[in-house]
Amino acid sequence: MGDKFILEKPRKTPVTENVDVFVAGGGPSGVMAAIAAARLGCSVVLAESKAYFGGAATMGLPIQGYYNQDNQRIVAGLAEEFRQHLIKKNGASKEFIQCTMHNPFLIVDPEKVKLVCAEMLKQAGVRFLLHTQVVDTIVEDGVIQAVLLEGKSGREAVVAKQYIDCTGDADLAARSGVPFSIGSEKDGTTQASTLNFRMDSVDIQVLVRALFDNPKRYDLHHLLPREQFRGGGHHIMVGLGNLIEEAKSEGFMTDAWSFVNYITQLDENAVSINSVHVKNKNACDTRDLTFIEVEARNLVQEMAQFLKLYVPGFENSRLTFTAGWSGIRETRRVHGEKTITADDILAGNRPQDTIALGGYPIDIHSSNENGLVFQKVPTYGISYGCLVPLQCNNLLVAGRSISATHEAMASTRLMAQCMAMGEAAGTAAFICVENGCFTRDVDVSKLRSILDFHGACL
Ligand SMILES: Cc1cc2nc3c(=O)[nH]c(=O)nc-3n(C[C@H](O)[C@H](O)[C@H](O)COP(=O)(O)OP(=O)(O)OC[C@H]3O[C@@H](n4cnc5c(N)ncnc54)[C@H](O)[C@@H]3O)c2cc1C
């Protein structure tokens, strides 16, 4: 930022909505938070900065976190309803796809995700705004009085009793003075970001054959058993590090991840690629974010070209889609009443105020190593306290930016788990509205019993 400032004119901002609950961000956590609060009778406004709902679920990624490593279901409730809606629209795999490395996962059609999110929000009676960004808040004595939004109509204010930050970046919390951290506690690095893209006309069976015919050349991540590919059904592939090294030694690739990571899509012969890494940038800095987007597009072209030239089955493939924006794995993590750590996760702790379960590996796309830290974990509980930020009495945070350490967030951030946290946050906001209490004073046994009644796994 420059060292010169201008003073803006004081302005009169219209209050356009006065509601029980305001939700910032319409990704997996925000959609579920808004629906949960609205179904319990709250008036709810949701503001989303992009042109559609679904957040990172619209990027061609599989939804993970519904299951633990022992094949036990750990997320249900609204996230299950969402899955059923997708299936009805042919927008998700009918069954979970088995995977010993990533736990069973769901393949979704990004376009159907956008539709189903909007439909479920409408049905629940949520009032929503697209192309509308949370830009500021007005806080008095630790209580948010209003949130300021910018959209095509200019600036407006929404007044609510309770606020839920599901922006993934904790934008609303940060603007309300909530303390936060970014990056690893050890060295400050954040996880790399990735622009996902889709390749069509891939002959996946050719690659699967090559994996068996020449396992030395076509290597897989050590946690991914080759047998899993037999039969050629849906899969996630992480591997081909040897080919990338070869391409690099031939001067082909300037930068890339050390593995190819793709997910087969619902359409035959299509894969979504989750491989290019832009490292060591702060995605909450406008200039860094601009760099990330431009750099990622170059890397996508490079990776698509690499796949066509080096990987069997990709010879005739075409790049047909890039996600609407770069996927950001890590930015702000708020400081909350409680903070979940890797030790909590590895010990399988299930605190008394557990409002959602996690069981996905600690999955760090590292910025300072050219690879992946991937550690299996038992089922663990996410505390309500991790959703309650410090210094702000009527705010909850759900999804990627809850109060967690760098390592713990690498497990809690998976989409099914974010949906479960969103449902819990929306339900807790309802309790606050009903009882006129601050978020930290919520009766957690009541919260848990409502979640349980609605089918959540606790
Ligand atoms: C590259 C990548 C690969 C991943 N792979 C997987 C995977 O395979 N499976 C899986 O389950 N998870 C995966 N994840 C993790 C998962 O996608 C995210 O952690 C999860 O989507 C977080 O959910 P969320 O609701 O917190 O945030 P998001 O999905 O990021 O949604 C946040 C929403 O808030 C909106 N928003 C942001 N700021 C504002 C603002 N100021 N005002 C209004 N709206 C705002 C955004 O536009 C967005 O729609 C991946 C993530 C990335 C980045």
Residues 231 and 260 in one domain: yes
Mean pLDDT of the chain: 95
User: 418 CB under 6 A from ligand 1?
Assistant: yes
Query: With bands split at pLDDT 50, 70 and 90, how would you rate the model's confidence at 341?
Result: very high
- Say if residue 241's pLDDT is above 60: yes
Q: Are 420 and 435 in contact (CB under 8 A)?
A: no
- pLDDT greater at residue 249 or residue 92: 92
Residues 156 and 39 in one domain: yes
Residues 209 and 176 in one domain: no
| Ligand 1: centre distance to CA 260 (Å) | 21
Residues 111 and 160 in one domain: yes
For residue 398, the domain's CATH number is 3.50.50.60
Nearest to 308 by CA among 235, 209, 212, 206: 206
User: 104 CB under 6 A from ligand 1?
Assistant: no
Residues 270 and 154 in one domain: no
Q: How many domains does the chain have?
A: 2
Residues 32 and 117 in one domain: yes
Task: Identify the pLDDT of residue 373.
Answer: 79
Look up the domain containing 316 and give its range: 197-322
Query: With bands split at pLDDT 50, 70 and 90, how would you rate the model's confidence at 34?
Result: very high
- Say if residue 255's pLDDT is above 80: no
Query: With bands split at pLDDT 50, 70 and 90, how would you rate the model's confidence at 447?
Result: very high
- Say if residue 369's pLDDT is above 90: no
State the Cα torsion 266-202-312-263 to the nearest 10°.
Answer: -30
Is 3 part of a structural domain of the chain? no
Is 26 part of a structural domain of the chain? yes
Is 94 part of a structural domain of the chain? yes
Q: In this structure, which residue's CA is closest to atom 4 in ligand 1? A: 61
Residues 412 and 343 in one domain: yes
Residues 276 and 344 in one domain: no
Q: In this structure, which residue's CA is closest to atom 13 in ligand 1? A: 414
Is 388 part of a structural domain of the chain? yes
Q: In this structure, which residue's CA is closest to atom 53 in ligand 1? A: 327
Residues 165 and 254 in one domain: no
| Ligand 1: centre distance to CA 337 (Å) | 23
Instruction: Give the percent of the chain with pLDDT over 90.
Output: 90
Task: Identify the pLDDT of residue 421.
Answer: 98
Residues 297 and 336 in one domain: no
Entry field: residues in the chain = 458
Residues 311 and 260 in one domain: yes
Of 322, 355, 387, the last residue of a domain is 322
Task: Identify the pLDDT of residue 118.
Answer: 98
Q: Are 41 and 430 in contact (CB under 8 A)?
A: yes
Nearest to 387 by CA among 426, 414, 359, 360: 426
Instruction: Give the percent of the chain with pLDDT over 70.
Output: 98
Residues 309 and 377 in one domain: no
CA gap 340, 408 in Å, rounded: 6
pLDDT digits (tens, 9 = 90+) for 40-90: 999 999 999 999 999 999 999 999 999 999 999 999 999 999 999 999 999
Of 283, 304, 322, the last residue of a domain is 322
User: 239 CB under 6 A from ligand 1?
Assistant: no
Of 271, 306, 322, the last residue of a domain is 322
Task: Identify the pLDDT of residue 111.
Answer: 97
Is 5 part of a structural domain of the chain? no
pLDDT digits (tens, 9 = 90+) for 89-101: 999 999 999 998 9
- Say if residue 394's pLDDT is above 80: yes
Query: With bands split at pLDDT 50, 70 and 90, how would you rate the model's confidence at 119?
Result: very high
